[in-house]
Amino acid sequence: MQKRTVPFGTITITDTAKRLIGEALESKRISCGKLVREFEDRFAGLVGASEAVAVSSGTDADILALAVLHDFGAQQGDEIIVPALSFVATGNAVLHAGFTPVFVDIERATLNIDPTQIEAAITSKTRAIMPVHLMGKPAEMDTINAIAKRHNLTVVEDAAEAHGAHYKGKAAGSLADLAAFSTYVAHIITTGEGGVITTNNEEYGDILRSLRSHGRNCTCKRCIMNTDEVTYCAKRFRGKGGEDVRFTFDRIGYSCKMNELEAAIGIGAMEVYDEIVKKRHDNLIHVLERFDRFAPYLSTIKEEQYEQIGPHAIPIIVNEGAPFTRAELTQYLEKSSIETRTLFASMPTQCPGFAYLGYKLGQFPNAEYMGHHGLHIGVHQDLGIEDMEYVLQILSQFIKTT
């Protein structure tokens, strides 16, 4: 077997992206401007949303999507229900938005929040449910939305890894009140660093544009001040005393705008989006459809008929009774030039930063199991079926030698 190198991630920077970066640098307009607007419009179109607001990271996207709730009566310390298993940014975002995370265990088969446990976690202080489409597999949104409707809660998709995911005919990013994406370097649509919030609520869009810029009273979807053609804005001095609306502030906000250079990379990525999604999905499904050969020692997720998994990565779980540990498997893969990542951890019980919330080890057995026994590997567009076959062969070889 010929040895291959299977890195976890990659980035596609197109000729269009390079040209737009050059033009932005030449114009000396590199802060949030017309390229960011173009990126937002294209991103909204991809997921079928009317509004897309670009920010500086996926974490900021989560934070702002939740911070919108303060405009509708939510108070500091109110509760947001989230899955126990996710990248730590999910829990961090709840806290940074001024809320308290309330954690719910996951389903082993899907890696997503267990919808049967959500209602027991709802209290008088609950304001939203934030399911995570972990590894790009859509959460059970019909059930989650029905629960939210019964209890008058907002639903925010954490779709950080769910580019290209579909659930019952609808794209991730259009399945709830708001959705938050990451456009970090490892993701399908990347801006290097960045994030996007999508929604079909115009009022939410205005609030999000305010929040990302210190909470200012300046929320137009298209800012004419940030174009090459126009330098005067008739709305700018509309305050009673002639105040500049860019220096009047309606709410506590953040500073997390996307810049033009990042947007240029994202615009280029969207030109080849369909090609990237197909390549990555082909890679993912090639492995998932052949993974039963590793039972009972290893398992992974499955793609159901009503969904398309966003092809972010391949999760691998070391099952009970396996004659090897995750550490042993990881070392074997890494020595075979297959780069790995751990499958996150139970935020409330395996991440020390959340210890003050008072959760105890054992409260989230499925999430905790993944924290000890899960990993994931790449399926990106610079890989092909031959690389996926190499992964399968290395896994087979490892099991035979243990």
Shared domain for 89 and 147, answered yes or no, is yes
Residue 223 has pLDDT above 70, yes or no: no
Shared domain for 247 and 367, answered yes or no, is no
Shared domain for 300 and 183, answered yes or no, is no
Number of domains in the chain: 2
Question: What is the arithmetic mean of pLDDT over 125-152?
Answer: 98
Shared domain for 280 and 370, answered yes or no, is yes
**Which CATH number fits the domain that encloses residue 125?**
3.40.640.10
Shared domain for 260 and 278, answered yes or no, is no
Residue by residue, DSSP assigns 178-203 as EEEEE-BTTSSS--BS-EEEEES-HH
Question: What is the arithmetic mean of pLDDT over 255-274?
Answer: 96
Whether 387 contacts 361, CB under 8 Å: no
Residue 10 placed within a domain? no
* pLDDT tens figures, 46-88: 999 999 999 999 999 999 999 999 999 999 999 999 999 999 9
pLDDT for 198 equals 98
pLDDT for 231 equals 67
pLDDT for 229 equals 61
Tokens of 8: 């976890």
Residue 201 placed within a domain? yes
Give the structural domain span for 372. Answer: 273-401
Question: What is the arithmetic mean of pLDDT over 143-164?
Answer: 98
pLDDT for 249 equals 77
Round the average pLDDT of the chain to a whole number and report it: 94
Residue 146 placed within a domain? yes
Residue 225 placed within a domain? yes
Residue 9 placed within a domain? no
Shared domain for 283 and 264, answered yes or no, is no
Residue 203 placed within a domain? yes
- Contacts of residue 156, Cβ cutoff 8 Å, sequence gap at least 6: 62, 65, 66, 128, 129, 130, 176, 177, 178, 179, 180
Shared domain for 99 and 166, answered yes or no, is yes
Indicate the residue among 236, 270, 304 that finishes a domain.
Answer: 270
